[in-house]
Amino acid sequence: MKIIMLGAPGAGKGTQAKMIADKYGIPHVSTGDIFRANIKNGTELGKQAKEYMDKGLLVPDELTVKILLDRVAQDDCKNGYVLDGFPRTIPQAEVLDEALTKLGEKIDFAVNVDVPDENIVKRMSGRRACLKCGATYHIEHIPPKQEGICDTCGSELVLRDDDKPETVLNRLKVYHDQTQPLIDFYTAKGVLKTVDGTQDMKDVFNAIVAILG
C-alpha cells in the first residue's frame, strides 16, 4: 500500500504516519527527517537544505526529488510506504507519478489531515522533536514520560528552529501557495481522503484506519 500524507505543517502528518507505518508494516518516509539527518551529519545536502528550512521555505525540487526517488527505490519500500512531507509541490507530485507509472504502480491513498490555521501556531510552539530518532511530542497533548527526554531513544528533545512562531507563519503561507493545490491534484486522481485533524490523535488514527481498511 502506497500512502501520501497531506496537510499543513503541524497538522499531525508525522504522528499519524508513524502509527500507520507500525500498523501496516511499511516504512515511514519523511523528507523533513532525511534533511534533518543530513544537517546533523554536516553533509553538503544538509548545508544546502538548511538555508531554506530555517526561513520556512521549501527546499528546491531539484534537491528534494532525487533523495525521495532514491529512498523509495530501496528494498524495504517494495511492499509500499507512507510518505510524510512529500510531495509538497505540483512538480514533485508529477515526478513521483511518472516514476510510479513507469513501474506500473500508483498511489493508493492521499490522506489529507485537515487542521485550520488558527490551531497550527499553538501546536507548533508546543512541539518537541527528537533529532536522533525522529519522534515528536507535544508539551500539552502528547508529553514524553520524562520532560525533555525522548521515550524511544533517551535523547534530548528540542524546539525545532523552524517551529518558532515567525517561521511557522511563513511555512503556512508557503503551504497555501505551493502545497494545497495537491488536494485538487489527488482529488482528480480519485485517491484523496480527508480526515478531521483537530480530533484527539487516536480518533484521527481510527478515522484513517477506517479509510485504509
Residues in contact with ligand ADP by the rule CB under 6 A: 7, 9-15, 31-32, 35, 52-53, 57-59, 64, 85-86, 88, 92, 123, 126-127, 136-138, 141-142, 162, 171, 200-201, 204
Least gap, CB of 19 to Zn ion (angstroms) = 16
How far apart are the C-alpha atoms of 27 and 6, rounded to whole Å? 17
How far apart are the C-alpha atoms of 22 and 53, rounded to whole Å? 28
Least gap, CB of 16 to ligand ADP (angstroms) = 7
Query: What is the residue whose three cell numbers read 502528547?
Result: 142
Between residues 119 and 187, which has the closer beta carbon with respect to ligand ADP?
A: 119
Q: Which of 103, 185, 77 is nearest to 68 (CA)?
A: 77
Residue 137 contact partner, candidates ligand ADP, Zn ion, none, CB within 5 to 8 A by sort of partner: ligand ADP
Least gap, CB of 154 to Zn ion (angstroms) = 7
CA 204 to chain centroid, in Å, comes to 15
Q: Is the peptide bond before 9 cis (omega within 30 degrees of 0)?
A: no
Residue 88 CB-density burial (10 A; 0-12 exposed, 13-18 middle, 19+ buried):
buried
127 catalytic per annotation: yes
Least gap, CB of 89 to ligand ADP (angstroms) = 7
Q: What's the grid cell of residue 197?
A: 485533524
171 catalytic per annotation: yes
Residue 135 contact partner, candidates Zn ion, ligand ADP, none, CB within 5 to 8 A by sort of partner: Zn ion
From 2, 13, 36, 128, active-site residue: 13
Any idea which residues carry the catalytic annotation? 13, 88, 127, 160, 171
